[in-house]
Chain A
């Protein structure tokens, strides 16, 4: 691992990151752009925490597109283990190989053969270390908080040394250090060891102005005044104390698209009530707001 050779065009400056992501229609604040820039420049993983639906996963996709790199995604879940994340031996092929050569080769020869890279099923982490595209691959380890604590231990070697040890083969080192983005919704606290190895950024709910900008970038056909109305309404909704689940930016975009598809140009009570399910994903929230509070929210300045 050599020190910070600016191979990626995004390693030049924070402005380069801002421009590149802006071209991908990703609205990014300078703070987060600095975090991305430092992650590229220092070759360190970037841990992004924040509210669901606020663009944590999206930033990895935008980075991969901006750098023309391969996006390798590892979606975390309970019970995720090395065989799904790192590698697994291709047992049926190994068995076939044994059968094919049981007469013409010695046991030692067959054993050496079947425990070679040819019989290794590469999972996302290993694939990221051996990326072959024109640019450093982007490895997205999504929703790490969903995985078990033991899985974090498995990640330590990958994230600090960028290598994987396969007992039968040896240590496989990264040909190029991937840009690693880890995301977490903070459903549990991640371990200190994993945090120590990462740079850190937090994405909260956007301000009204930023939300308007996101709407305008992602849905260029949306009139500015309508975008402002939508953003104001969503901001008011997010401010309600008793919501079970507050809508994220992803929900705002879905809702705006739905209103556009219905041919709406301003917020009216009836279509808003009909499409509120795109914003509120809890049955009781939906019932309460659709029946009782919708007009109040729409009438608020």
Chain B
């Protein structure tokens, strides 16, 4: 399958293609060696001198997401129109756009920004940007002690067990499902080797399906470090999890957590949240979430909303959106940083509007003690 690629224009096109691939990598498109080879083979199969055929071959072989398609289109026009004027950058990891910027939506909560070199990243980023609702203050992100991280991790595991809806590796007896041959054969020994009754089994639910909606508005600044530890633990423990940051708009930040150790994910997120901090529009953000990423909601999904409930939006709109969210997902959990405080009552308009649609209202501190969190039910708080 992998013969040499021959181009009508000879060897020089390979050097140009290499420059094009390097440029795409600089723009954050993840192109491996195999994709490059595929592109070469594709160009040998289509009329490569036909600009649109060339473009399509690049799109088909190099893209792996809709964002990649847009980037390839843009870079293609720039690179193949101005060749000779553009310096071809060397293949390098430096300056690569972090994965978190994938699937970025226009007008997101967090301004697009290239990641600075790691050693220049501030631990506390205060510099902000204009927000129509409130001054952008950035988010102070300091690492928590290791013991705290471990507590969050243990709490996240307990939480996963309590909200597990997806089948895991372990089997359990079931009236339906495939035949458990070993058990059937073993039971058959009691009846002289005859399989009188078939035993059946199915995978026990052990895995969770999670969506985290994280309020990064100004009023949540002082809780960001704690919430980051919580979100990090949830994302590490629950493989099928997506994280979205919201303020006056919403944006996915899952990629910032993927495969990153805690100490590295922390400065990356601090850099990304540096412009966040405006007022909160929860209903609008939930509506935007459902509009752009609604497909991730399934009857197995648990939605965790991390917010203090200070909201500038319309409470009736929030009720409407949470009602829809509740109907599309398995359960909705609201984590309020103040929920564990003595005498806490859900007094903000947003929380009052949200309560009828929540399965659980809890605090980040109760997550490591999930059994306590489970007792803190919405109904008891509503009664209070």
Interface set of A (CB-CB < 8 Å, partner B)? 1-4, 14, 30-31, 34-35, 37-38, 41-44, 49, 52, 78-79, 83, 91, 95, 148-149, 185-189, 192, 195-197, 199-202, 204, 241-245, 282, 284
Q: How many A-B residue pairs have CB under 8 A?
A: 104
One digit per residue, 1 when the CB lies within 8 angstroms of any chain A CB and 0 when it does not, for chain B 265-302 equals 00000000000000000000001001100111010100
Q: Closest B-chain residue to A89, C-beta based? A: B181
Q: Is the CB of A34 within 8 A of B300?
A: no
Cα A263 to Cα B38 in complex, Å, equals 51
Contacts A4-B45, A148-B166 supplied; 4 other A-B pairs, CB < 8 Å: A148-B167, A187-B298, A197-B34, A200-B64
Name A244's contact: one of B35, B63, B207, B294 (CB within 8 Å): B294
Contacts of A34 in B (CB 8 A): 46, 53, 56-57, 60
Q: Closest B-chain residue to A245, C-beta based? A: B294
Q: Closest B-chain residue to A95, C-beta based? A: B195
Q: Closest A-chain residue to B301, C-beta based? A: A187
CB distance from B70 to the nearest CB of A (A): 10
Cα A34 to Cα B203 in complex, Å, equals 41
16 contacts between A and B (CB under 8 A): A3-B1, A4-B41, A30-B56, A38-B45, A49-B66, A79-B167, A91-B179, A149-B239, A188-B242, A192-B30, A195-B64, A196-B32, A196-B34, A197-B34, A202-B63, A282-B324
Contacts of B64 in A (CB 8 A): 192, 195-196, 200
Interface set of B (CB-CB < 8 Å, partner A)? 1-3, 30, 32, 34-35, 38, 41-42, 45-46, 52-53, 56-57, 59-61, 63-66, 68-69, 166-167, 178-179, 181, 195, 202-203, 207, 239-240, 242, 254, 287, 290-291, 294-296, 298, 300, 320, 323-324, 328
Contacts of B296 in A (CB 8 A): 187-188
Cα A192 to Cα B65 in complex, Å, equals 11
CB distance from A143 to the nearest CB of B (A): 11
Q: Is the CB of A41 within 8 A of B60?
A: no
Knowing A38-B46, A52-B295, say if A202 contacts B66 (CB, 8 Å): yes
Q: Is the CB of A41 within 8 A of B45?
A: yes
Cα A153 to Cα B170 in complex, Å, equals 18
Q: Closest B-chain residue to A99, C-beta based? A: B193
Name A186's contact: one of B69, B178, B179, B295 (CB within 8 Å): B295
CB distance from A4 to the nearest CB of B (A): 7
Cα A186 to Cα B166 in complex, Å, equals 18
Q: Closest A-chain residue to B254, C-beta based? A: A189
Q: Is the CB of A42 within 8 A of B41?
A: yes
Q: Closest B-chain residue to A244, C-beta based? A: B324
Contacts of B57 in A (CB 8 A): 34, 38
6 closest residue pairs by CB, A with B = A34-B56, A195-B64, A35-B60, A79-B167, A187-B295, A41-B45
Cα A242 to Cα B298 in complex, Å, equals 19
Knowing A34-B53, A38-B45, A42-B41, say if A78 contacts B295 (CB, 8 Å): no
Knowing A3-B1, A187-B298, say if A38 contacts B239 (CB, 8 Å): no
Q: Closest A-chain residue to B239, C-beta based? A: A149
Contacts of B53 in A (CB 8 A): 14, 34
Q: Is the CB of A241 within 8 A of B61?
A: no
CB distance from B90 to the nearest CB of A (A): 24
Cα A31 to Cα B181 in complex, Å, equals 50
